[in-house]
Amino acid sequence: MKQALEIKELNQRFGIPEIVKIVAGHGGLTRVEVTSRSAQGEMYLHGAHVTSWKPSNAEEVLFVSSQSHWNDSRPIRGGVPVCFPWFSSKSDDVNAPMHGFARTTAWQLESIVQTGDAVTVSMFIESNEATKKWWPADFRAVHRATFGPELILELEVVNTGKTSFQFEEALHSYFQVGNIETVLVKGLNGVDYIDKIDEKRTKTQNGEIAIVSETDRVYLNTAAAVDVQDPALHRQITIAKENSVSTVVWNPWIQKAKAMPDFGDTEWPQMICIETCNIGDSFVELTPGQRHQMKAIVRVSKL
């Protein structure tokens, strides 16, 4: 009953008739649904997590696992998790949540704005006792997702405190592909990367990336757009970015997929992660009052 009243109030404040509605989604988690002439999309308040973007006359672009745990204590597996304020495990606390606390935090709706055929959904979190259990900083973070002919994702962080702080961030985007074994990833030729599968050795990319085994790479000092060429679905997904100097390419392959309880054993051929991020030595530092905005722009074209 309480959630039904909250959803009713959110619809009264933010809903747009026949275009935007707020509903109880998977697992009863609150979800914003967008249906416009240019695209359909979904975004959960849990983690400010985008789980669907389907441009008009196109197939779903994002991958979400059929085995995802839909509850407020676990991250959603797939879509676009927000990794903040650290990436992977926290270096000084093995008990801290993987990829930070943002993706399992209840965000609040800030605004929903229609501009032409596109709709921008903004959600925010602010520092509180729960966040300071893991990270002492005073901050405000906003995730804006614009659903239209392009999917535009903006993560903005503001230092609201009196001391400087450092953080890592990632838009951990999972993309749907027809067959990972025929996919080619272009745009990173000549870029150095850390190969997390091979004892974190630093290597240099030579040509296109073909996924032939478990892949977990952090590409360094690159602002380049990445093209995912997918002949099985006859399309190309292009991920451009702003204020990001790291790119992660990830696919769990066979054994890792079987080891993940929230990922289907046979789903690995249908996904690839191309992550827009600032991680490792490319962390962001903000002085009091300073803000930083990282952006990913996703486009789909026929191949």
Give me the phi and psi of 270, to 5 degrees please.
-100, 15
d(CA 207, CA 185): 9
Q: What is the pTM of this model?
A: 0.97
- Catalytic hit among 110, 275, 285, 292: 275
Which phi and psi (to 5°) does residue 132 adopt? -75, -10
**Catalytic status, residue 26:** no
How many CA atoms, within 13 angstroms, populate the side-chain half-sphere of residue 240? 7
d(CA 232, CA 218): 26
From the CB of residue 77, how many other CB atoms can be counted at a distance below 10 Å? 21
Q: Which two tokens stand for residue 221?
A: 């000092």
**Structural domain count of the chain:** 1
Mean pLDDT score, 51-68: 97
CA–CA separation, 42 vs 90, rounded Å?
A: 29
My answer on whether omega of the bond before 85 falls inside 30° of 0, hence cis, is yes
Q: pLDDT band at residue 1, thresholds of 50, 70 and 90?
A: low
Q: Quick: pLDDT tens for 133-172.
A: 999 999 999 999 999 999 999 999 999 999 999 999 999 9
Segments forming the whole domain that contains residue 70: 2-302
Q: CATH number for the domain including 183?
A: 2.70.98.10
* Catalytic residue flag (residue 46): no
Residue 37 backbone zone (phi > 0: left; psi -120 to 50: alpha; other: beta): alpha
Pick the catalytic residue: 33, 169, 172, 267?
A: 172
Tokens read off for 256: 């890792």
pLDDT digits (tens, 9 = 90+) for 232-278: 999 999 999 999 999 999 999 999 999 999 999 999 999 999 999 99
Terminal CA-CA length for the chain: 48
Token duo for residue 109: 């709706």
Question: What is the rounded CA–CA span in Å between residue 41 and residue 34?
Answer: 5
